[in-house]
């Protein structure tokens, strides 16, 4: 009597190979999902990957053409401003001149960026005192306004450590907003606002201040 061959016999021989392919596909899918988790911006929310330790910024009302400048001095006496955009570990990332540089050309079209903001980054830690001044460079009217000054620590996560509103009253006004200490671990402490002149052309009602010894 001839041997009967089951119609499921050939499929049974293929089952282990099919299972192997399915498991391999499942493994690759799992690894792909893990990779997506690591590159997903939401998974890294709250972290800032910048070459900086601190960000110091000033902002003033967008509808004003006035020019306000940010001046910062480090413990070594380096002063950064629009006159010198790199000084030691200090760097002026944005020099805003009011409405003058609010418009740029993109693909042949004018694009307006109306935000009034200047930004200085501290890209390395030097222990000692830092000074943050705001200078009212150009006034186009007699209207007073507030400049918002923020100091933010970048690493390991973005954290605001200082915020202050500074009234801008008249052209050539220079205000010492904050004098603070950084320790060797980059921690900020001992904030004061004892006035000191950083600009070469401020009014003569603020005392000059020598660079403190390290």
SS3 content of the chain, % helix, strand, coil (to 5): 15, 40, 45
The secondary structure of residue 171, as a DSSP letter, is: T
Q: Are residues 93 and 186 in the same domain?
A: yes
The predicted pLDDT at position 140 comes to 79
pLDDT at 199 over 70: yes
Q: Are residues 133 and 33 in the same domain?
A: no
Q: Are residues 103 and 19 in the same domain?
A: no
| CATH classification of the domain holding 163 | 2.60.60.30
Nearest one of 145, 136, 168, 140 to 69, comparing CA atoms: 136
Q: What range does the domain containing 137 cover? A: 54-192
Structure tokens at 35: 């990779």
How many distinct structural domains can be found in the chain?
Answer: 2
Can you tell me whether residue 92 is helix, strand or coil?
strand
Q: Are residues 33 and 93 in the same domain?
A: no
Q: Are residues 58 and 29 in the same domain?
A: no
Q: What are phi and psi of 18, to 5 degrees?
A: -65, -40
The predicted pLDDT at position 48 comes to 44
Residues across the chain: 214
Return all residues near 208 (Cβ < 8 A) that are at least 6 apart: 196, 197
Can you tell me whether residue 68 is helix, strand or coil?
strand
Q: Are residues 62 and 168 in the same domain?
A: yes
Q: Are residues 64 and 140 in the same domain?
A: yes
Q: Are residues 63 and 151 in the same domain?
A: yes
pLDDT tens, position by position, 54-69 = 999 999 988 788 889 9
Q: Is 128 a domain residue?
A: yes
Q: Are residues 68 and 14 in the same domain?
A: no
């Amino acid at each position: 009597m001839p041997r009967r061959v089951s119609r499921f016999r050939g499929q049974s021989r293929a089952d282990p190979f099919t299972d192997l392919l399915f498991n391999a596909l499942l493994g690759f899918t799992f690894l792909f999902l893990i990779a997506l988790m690591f590159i997903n911006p939401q998974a890294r929310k709250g972290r800032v990957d910048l070459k900086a330790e601190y960000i110091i910024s000033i902002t003033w009302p967008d509808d004003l053409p006035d020019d306000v400048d940010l001046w910062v001095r480090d413990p070594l006496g380096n002063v950064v401003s629009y006159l010198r955009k790199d000084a030691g570990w200090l760097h002026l990332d944005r020099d805003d001149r009011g409405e003058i540089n609010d418009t740029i050309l993109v693909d042949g079209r004018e694009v307006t960026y109306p935000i009034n903001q200047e930004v200085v980054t501290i890209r390395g830690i030097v222990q000692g005192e830092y000074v943050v001044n705001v200078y009212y460079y150009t006034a186009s009217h007699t209207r007073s306004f507030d400049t918002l000054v923020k100091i933010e620590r970048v690493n390991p996560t973005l954290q605001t450590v200082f915020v202050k509103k500074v009234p801008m009253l008249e052209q050539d006004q220079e205000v010492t907003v904050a004098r603070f200490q950084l320790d060797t671990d980059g921690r900020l402490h001992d904030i004061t606002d004892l006035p000191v002149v950083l600009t070469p052309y401020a009014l003569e009602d603020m005392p000059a201040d020598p660079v403190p010894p390290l």
